[in-house]
Structures are given as C-alpha cells and as structure tokens.
Chain A
Amino acid sequence: MIALMLGFLAVLVRVEAQIELESATSLAAAAAVSAPAGDYALSSRYALDTWQGTLHYYGYLRPGALQGCAGYGDAGEQVTCSGTATLLFRETPMGLVIPFDLDISASATARSSGYRSR
C-alpha cells in the first residue's frame, strides 16, 4: 500500500515538475524576444536570467541547461528555447519505488513583434 502511495506521489511530482519546466522555458522564450532586435547577447541574457529566476533547485528538482535562446536578428523572427531538468527521485522516499533520476525537457517558441526596434 505504501509502495502504491509512493508511486502515485512520483507521478504527481513528475507532472508538477513538467509544468514548472514548461513554464520557465516559455517565459525564457518570451524574455528573449523582449530585447531589441539584433542584440543577440542581450537577448540570451534576458532568456537565461528569466529561466534561472523562475526555475529553482529544490528538494527533488535540479535545473539543467537552457539552450537555443541565442537571440534573433530582425523584427518578426522567432526564438526557440529548450530547457532541461532532473528529477531527483533517489534523494526522496519515492526512490524506493523509482530508484533512478529522471531527465525531463521542454521547449518553447516565441515570435518577436514585427515592429520591434533594433
């Protein structure tokens, strides 16, 4: 019964972690296109700051890397970001039923305004 309960909790945690990762990656993509067009460095920094400010390390979730948010050249272009994280099941009681860590990923695309200044 306890194993069933831990398995059930593990599923809930997996769903919850995916929501958080999707959310942070989506915001990072939105932040990337909030920088002026053509400023690749600023766009990347905005995306990374947003991702790191939203997705925190806690108990069972360790943020991984954010990739692909390298900025955009012209107004109207889009940016696609991919984020990864690791679910640390082994460091929780859920490790009794899931004795390994789980890598999860998410990606998001944002399009800049067609009237964005450089």
Chain B
Amino acid sequence: MSAWGGRIREACGQATVEFAMVIGVFLLLLFSALSASLYTVERGAAVTGVAAGARVAAGAAPGNPNASNVEGATAEVARVVKPSLFGTRVNQLPGGASCRSPRQVPAGEVDVCARQVPSGMVRVELRGRPANPAPVAFGLDWVLDVGAEIQPVTFKP
C-alpha cells in the first residue's frame, strides 16, 4: 500500500467521525426549530380558541338566560383549534368539568373544558400534549396549557 492511499483512507475516516459528531447536533437543532415553529402555531391557535370560547361562555346558555353557555364554549374552542392542531385529537369535556393535568393527557390529545369558578367568572381551558413531528428520542414533548377567564354578562336585580 502506498503512503498516499493510506492518507486518503485516514482523511475519509476523519470526515466520517466529524460527520457523526455534527449530524446529531444538526438534527437536534433542525427538529427543535421545526417543532418550536409548529408549537407556536398550535399555541397561538389555542390562545385564540380559548378566548373565542370565553366570549361564547360569557353569553347565556340556550334556554336558560341565567346560566353561562359553557357547553357552547367548548364547542367553539374545538371549532377554532381543530384546523391548527395537526394530527391532534381534541376531547370536548362536558360543561362544568375540569380538564386533566396536561401530563395526564395521552400524547397527541388535548382536553377542552369550560366551567364557572367560585368567583363567578367563567374559565375556559385547553390542556394536553399535541402531536409532535419530532422523534421522541429528541425529548421535545411540548405541553399546551392555556386558559381564559371572563366575567359573564350580569344584570342588576
């Protein structure tokens, strides 16, 4: 074997080692950027959704002008967020129920709930773990936990 051939083989080996060192960091940054971008879109939709739901909840329930429209609120949140939560299942909980802790919600699902809190306000929440395109190995497990509160319309007695 010539000395020249040995140097080429050494250079190839060095390049492979360098590539192996860099590719992991590069993929981590790439998936982080993709995942963070998607999360921002999803969180923006979630914030907009719970605000829209809160506006609905501030009104009266159909057939009962003295109660907040919590059922209508969860439906409104689901309507707003579904197109933006790619591949995520949206669970609409019954009016008055509390959402589970985000970590208790299975991956790829979110809970939507609305209820009246003791202060008289109506609270609308979206909690869970939306679907994430980044491989689990990268440890990018985003959690959505957003809420909105509003004072329902009131009348003097």
Task: Point out residues on A near B: beta carbons under 8 Å.
Answer: 1-2, 5, 8-9, 12, 15-16, 19-20, 23-24, 26-27, 30-31, 34-36, 39, 42, 46, 49-50, 53-54, 117-118
Q: Please tell me if the beta carbons of B156 and A53 are within 8 angstroms of each other in the complex.
A: no
Task: Point out residues on B near A: beta carbons under 8 Å.
Answer: 25-26, 29, 32-33, 36-37, 40, 43-44, 47-48, 51, 54-55, 58, 119, 121, 123, 147-156
Interchain residue pairs A-B with the least CB separation, the first 3 = A53-B149, A46-B151, A23-B51
Which of A1, A39, A53 lies at the interface centre, i.e. has the most chain B CB atoms within 10 A of its CB?
A53
Q: How far is the CA of A117 from the CA of B25 in the complex (A)?
A: 63
Q: With a CB–CB cut-off of 8 A, which chain A residues contact B154?
A: 34-36, 42
Instruction: List 11 additional A-B contacts (Cβ < 8 Å) besides A49-B149, A50-B150.
Output: A5-B32, A16-B44, A24-B51, A27-B149, A31-B58, A36-B156, A50-B149, A53-B121, A54-B54, A54-B147, A54-B150
Q: How far is the CA of A16 from the CA of B42 in the complex (A)?
A: 10
Which of A2, A24, A27 lies at the interface centre, i.e. has the most chain B CB atoms within 10 A of its CB?
A27
Q: Which of A8, A27, A34, A39 contacts B51 (CB 8 A)?
A: A27
Q: With a CB–CB cut-off of 8 A, which chain B residues contact A24?
A: 51, 148
Q: With a CB–CB cut-off of 8 A, which chain A residues contact B151?
A: 31, 34-35, 46, 49-50
CB within 8 Å for A15 and B40 given contacts A30-B150, A36-B154, A117-B156: yes
